[in-house]
């Protein structure tokens, strides 16, 4: 978050509010999101891509009604990938035509609801889905705008579970073996579908621009092949999300202007050489917008020094509010924020309170030797894929998300209560 500062007394403030006051008012663990930073990042993306492009925020990173309202006000569109995300978007008043609906296994109900709501595009992910969406649109008497998600065969250099454009995975329709060309044939053959263009998403937390460039090139080449075969120039391409953010000081992310510039250049160059009109480009950043805007605040509980091994510092959350360390070996940093300390920094492992030894918050952290129960620790860059992947493991109560702006803090997603848990349990 951009408005984080350490005050003269050593207490960190966010948006002008002391974290000690935040902990007192909202409890820990909790996510604190800098609303001004979120809005600034939306504007940076919209500005970088300009009027001839569209930015769709990927709701899977973190979605709530307040977020939808901010997106709406900042002129962004929204990518949703489930009926639940669609409901949140519509409930918060996102115009349906600004929503893209994704998913590799959309249910019949989701397809019907998306078409019925009038979403701006459905991104088709398989041959079966082309037929299903075409059928449902026909039944509802509408012509549904769609894109086809293609897999361009790029190996994005990221964790295997979040790389998505190599061929052996569940998303999209392969370009390499002619399947994507066949998908285009089928989509064009349905009167109830309006094929807007092609979509490619190559993975997530990517720093190397080369993958995006190869992907853009291959998508444009497919546009040219479509023009050659069918005599139609599809008006849109979507190049997905995936831009990495800094979790630790070793990460060096690109700025939206750089990615916009390089994508525009590649697409323009490829289109010129193929004699194509330049299509309207869209992108779907999730992490790059919301990730850096929030941090998680924890309170230190038990500290257990293991002679000759290491010290385990336990906090009051863990894998239920941030599964990414356990799931992807993700790296985070952590800092003491409720005071300063002159004590020497020592290497510790920060762990959660769950009944599992993989419940690690930060594997190797340097924290002051005088760290004590009651101290507050903050983990930065937890805005993306933390609250949205949070669980009730061990019947943990999922933490609130608190938006901070201009010296005011407001709960946008409240903390779960034990009544919330018991309400679902019918005995
Ligand atoms: N568009 C599509 C079609 C996607 O599948 C995704 C992410 C995005 C956009 C947004 O990608 P982003 O800009 O946020 O990287 N849970 C994982 C990340 C999974 C990403 C899935 N798809 C994690 O915590 O790293």
If asked whether residues 141 and 234 sit together in one domain, one would say yes
Q: What is the DSSP code string of 93-142?
A: T--GGGEEE--SS--HHHHHHHHHHT-SEEEE-SHHHHHHHHHHHHHHT-
Q: Is residue 270 part of a domain?
A: yes
Render each residue's pLDDT in the chain as its tens digit; 427 residues.
Answer: 677 899 889 999 998 899 999 999 999 999 999 999 999 999 999 999 999 999 999 999 999 999 999 999 999 999 999 999 999 999 999 999 999 999 999 999 999 999 999 999 999 999 999 999 999 999 999 999 999 999 998 876 665 555 565 677 899 999 999 999 999 999 999 999 999 999 999 999 998 888 888 999 999 999 999 999 999 999 999 999 999 999 999 999 999 999 999 999 999 999 999 999 999 999 999 999 999 999 999 999 999 999 999 999 999 999 999 999 999 999 999 999 999 999 999 999 999 999 999 999 999 999 999 999 999 999 999 999 999 999 999 999 999 999 999 999 999 999 999 999 999 999 9
**Pick from 249, 268, 285: which residue ends a domain?**
285
- Determine, yes or no, domain membership for 53: no
Which are the catalytic amino acids?
355
Dihedral sign for Cα atoms in the order 234, 236, 239, 241: negative
Q: 381 CB less than 6 Å from ligand 1?
A: no
Ligand 1 site, residue 256, Cβ cutoff 6 A: no
Final residue of a structural domain among 261, 285, 309: 285
- The domain tally of the chain equals 2
Q: For ligand 1, is residue 172 a contact (CB within 6 Å)?
A: no
Same structural domain, 191 and 218: yes
Q: Are residues 243 and 390 both part of a single domain?
A: no
Ligand 1 pocket mutation, candidates 286, 289, 327, criterion most atoms within 8 A of CB: 286
Domain of 83, in residue numbers: 62-285
Q: Omega into 416 within 30° of 0, i.e. cis? A: no
Q: Are residues 221 and 87 in the same domain?
A: yes
Residue 205 C-alpha to ligand 1 middle, in angstroms?
8
In the Cβ-directed half-sphere of 101, how many Cα atoms lie within 13 Å? 34
Ligand 1 atom nearest to 123, measured from its CA = 3
Two tokens, residue 227: 């023009």
Q: What ipTM was predicted for this assembly?
A: 0.99
Predicted TM-score (pTM) of this structure: 0.97
- Number of the ligand 1 atom closest to the C-alpha atom of 291: 14
Same domain, 268 and 310: no
CB of 240 closer than 6 A to ligand 1? yes
Last residue of a domain, one of 285, 315, 332: 285
């Amino acid at each position: 978050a951009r408005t984080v500062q350490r005050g003269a007394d050593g207490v960190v403030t966010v948006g002008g509010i002391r974290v000690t006051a935040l902990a007192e008012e909202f409890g820990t663990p909790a996510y604190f999101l800098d609303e001004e930073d979120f809005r600034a990042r939306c504007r940076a993306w919209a500005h970088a891509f300009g009027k001839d492009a569209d930015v769709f925020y990927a709701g899977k990173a973190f979605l709530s009604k307040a977020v939808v309202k901010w997106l709406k006000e900042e002129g962004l569109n929204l990518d949703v990938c489930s009926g639940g995300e669609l409901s949140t978007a519509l409930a918060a008043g996102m115009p349906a035509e600004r929503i893209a609906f994704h998913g590799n296994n959309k249910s019949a109900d989701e397809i019907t609801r998306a078409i019925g709501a009038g979403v701006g595009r459905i991104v088709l992910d398989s041959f079966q889905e082309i037929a299903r969406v075409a059928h449902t649109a026909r039944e509802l008497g509408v012509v549904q705008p769609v894109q086809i998600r293609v897999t361009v065969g790029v190996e994005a250099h990221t964790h295997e579970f979040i790389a998505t454009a190599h061929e052996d995975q569940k998303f999209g329709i392969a370009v390499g073996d002619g399947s994507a060309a066949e998908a285009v044939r089928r989509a064009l053959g349905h009167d109830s579908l309006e094929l807007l263009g092609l979509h490619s998403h190559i993975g997530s937390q990517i720093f190397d621009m080369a993958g995006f460039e190869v992907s853009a090139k291959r998508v444009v080449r497919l546009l040219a092949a479509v023009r050659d075969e069918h005599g139609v120039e599809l008006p849109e391409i979507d190049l997905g999300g995936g831009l990495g953010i800094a979790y630790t000081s070793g990460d060096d992310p690109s700025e939206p202007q750089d990615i916009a510039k390089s994508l525009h250049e590649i697409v323009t160059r490829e289109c010129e050489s193929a004699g194509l009109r330049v299509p309207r480009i869209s992108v779907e950043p999730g992490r790059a917008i919301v990730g850096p805007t929030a941090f998680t605040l924890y309170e230190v509980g038990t500290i257990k020094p293991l002679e000759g091994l290491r010290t385990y510092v336990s906090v009051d959350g863990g894998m239920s509010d941030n599964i990414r360390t356990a799931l992807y070996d993700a790296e985070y940093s952590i800092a003491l924020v409720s005071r300063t300390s002159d004590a020497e920094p020592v290497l510790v492992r920060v762990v959660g309170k769950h009944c599992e030894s993989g419940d690690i918050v930060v594997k190797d952290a340097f924290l002051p030797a005088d760290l004590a129960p009651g101290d507050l620790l903050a983990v930065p860059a937890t805005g993306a894929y933390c609250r949205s992947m949070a669980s009730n493991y061990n019947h943990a109560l999922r933490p609130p998300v608190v938006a901070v702006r201009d010296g005011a803090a407001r709960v946008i997603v409240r903390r779960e209560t034990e009544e919330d848990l018991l309400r679902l349990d019918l005995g």
